[in-house]
Amino acid sequence: MKKELIKIIKKAGKILKEGFYADKNITFKAKKDLVTDYDVAVENFLKKKFSTRFKNFNIIAEESDNANIQFNNSIIIDPIDGTTNFVNGVPHTAISVGVYKNKKPYLAIVYNPILDELYTAKIGKGAFLNGKKIKVSHEDNFQKALLATGFPYTSGTNEDDLNDVVKKIKDVLPLCQDLRRLGSAALDLCYVARGTYEGYYEMNLKAWDVSAGILILIEAGGKVSNISGNTYTLFEDKYLVASNGKIHDEFIKNLNL
Ligand code: IPD
Ligand code: CA
Ligand code: CA
């Protein structure tokens, strides 16, 4: 299944790449939440291919009707993660596809066609970037940790969320090396997996943002939890905290100051 998934996703990557350099039709789903005709085109392409090829899985996809999500044996698609980057020409954008069996991660692909970076993982078989095995960093000193975060779209409308974003930055920034906000949750998790970042946290993520990145990080030796340090549950937890494992306890402590 992994090989076929990659083949299909690479084809979809051509649509994303073409769109990256083209004029796009942009509409707003919410105050800060953009969608383009290319998000829809990539999603429709993937759904068509997956539904004919992988009939034992239902499909959950960002730009589709998600009023009644059935999550079990599921392929979870974010057609373009980092749409704001995609629209503005920032090359940190990717297709993210996570395959779940009985609600457990099974296969994961994150593909950035602009930089030609293909991250893949299968449960128990390790994580790879363009076919080369990747591992999390060894850094165990929180003060030397390069961290990443993201800002939820609700920061434009929900004052509690905005205050929480600002508080956590104020608490964590003096204690770590530095903080990045590159704008693609799927790739942020892959950057922890490949040892570029020591950790990443964000609130209000959707299942499609992280369905693939979670498995890629775990298979690279990293750790994912909720803000209490317990198992992160897709579709349920408000906060996701991800790390190389070595700084995790201190990360959790510093996010709860
Ligand atoms: C967004 C990106 C961004 C994160 C947002 C996500 P989208 O996904 O992953 O980094 O901060 O929370 O919604 O809308 O570009 O698919
Ligand atoms: Ca996303
Ligand atoms: Ca998206």
Closest CA to 100 of 7, 214, 192: 214
Query: Ligand 1, from 60, 80, 81, 238: best to mutate by most atoms within 8 Å of Cβ?
Result: 81
Query: Ligand 1, from 189, 209, 238: best to mutate by most atoms within 8 Å of Cβ?
Result: 209
- pLDDT tens for the chain, 257 residues: list them: 999 999 999 999 999 999 999 999 999 988 888 899 999 999 999 999 999 999 999 999 999 999 999 999 999 999 999 999 999 999 999 999 999 999 999 999 999 999 999 999 999 999 999 999 999 999 999 999 999 999 989 988 999 999 999 999 999 999 999 999 999 999 999 999 999 999 999 999 999 999 999 999 999 999 999 999 999 999 999 999 999 999 999 999 999 99
pTM (two decimals): 0.97
Is 33 marked as binding a ligand?
no
Is 65 marked as binding a ligand?
no
| CATH 3.40.190.80 domain locations along the chain | 142-255
Compute the distance between CA of residue 124 and CA of residue 143 in angstroms, rounded to an integer.
31
**Which CATH number does the domain 142-255 belong to among 3.90.850.10, 3.40.190.80, 3.40.640.10, 3.40.50.150?**
3.40.190.80
| CATH 3.30.540.10 domain locations along the chain | 2-133
What integer pLDDT is reported at residue 61 of this predicted model?
A: 97
What integer pLDDT is reported at residue 182 of this predicted model?
A: 97
What integer pLDDT is reported at residue 77 of this predicted model?
A: 98
What integer pLDDT is reported at residue 29 of this predicted model?
A: 87
Ligand sitting nearest the alpha carbon of 149: 1
Q: From edge to edge, which strands make up the β-sheet containing 132-133?
A: 58-61, 74-81, 94-101, 104-112, 117-122, 127-129, 132-133
Is 177 within 8 Å of 146 (Cβ atoms)? Answer: yes
Residues with CB in 5 Å of ion ligand 2: 78, 81, 209
Q: Which CATH class is domain 2-133?
A: alpha beta
Q: From edge to edge, which strands make up the β-sheet containing 146-149?
A: 178-180, 146-149, 199-203, 239-243, 223-225
Distance, first Cα to last Cα, the chain = 44
Half-sphere exposure of 18 (CA within 13 A, CB side): 11
What integer pLDDT is reported at residue 158 of this predicted model?
A: 92
